Amino acid sequence: MRVAAVGDALDPEEVRMLSGEPGDTDSPSYKRLLRQLNKIRLSNKDIRFVYLVGMRPADRNVVFILDTEPPTSEDYACPGLVYDEAPEGLKAIFSSGKTDLVGPYTDRWGFWVSGFAPVRDEFGAILGVVGMDINAHSLK
């Protein structure tokens, strides 16, 4: 799966530098990861969204860490935005650590089939999960 390759390719130290807060957008790590993920999105025309999410330990909410949508887009998810309707398959990756294909499911942005892959540190801890969404209507 493409998303597994992306999850493995991202530098865990860069991901570790992000806090999942709006101020991350000014950090060099955020900017480097954004460039990488934008290249992935632009080179895979069937993929609508590419993003990185994390799980806040305090409340176990899934939050956006990085979104390749430009901040001017109505579909942009800023760092720290809680992903209230995160599919259960995505949430499960924070426990299982396994790359998965999830969907179809609906959220505020549309109807999707998504690939999710963990980004791990050198000890195997999950630092975040990369998501890549394909419009589920286009798969019919």
Residues 25 and 72: their CA atoms lie apart, in Å, by 14
Instruction: Report the Cα–Cα distance between both ends of the chain, in Å, rounded.
Output: 20
DSSP β-bridge partners for residue 133 = 49, 114
Q: Give the pLDDT confidence of 93-137 residue by residue, as tens digits.
A: 999 999 999 999 999 999 999 999 999 999 999 999 999 999 998
Residue with the two structure tokens 């999105």: 41
Q: Do residues 38 and 31 touch, judged by C-beta distance below 8 A? A: no
Q: Taking a C-beta distance cutoff of 8 angstroms, is the pair 27, 18 a contact?
A: yes
pLDDT digits (tens, 9 = 90+) for 11-54: 999 999 999 999 999 999 999 999 999 999 999 999 999 999 99
**What is the model's pTM?**
0.94
Model confidence pLDDT, tens digit, residues 44-81: 999 999 999 999 988 999 999 999 999 999 999 999 99
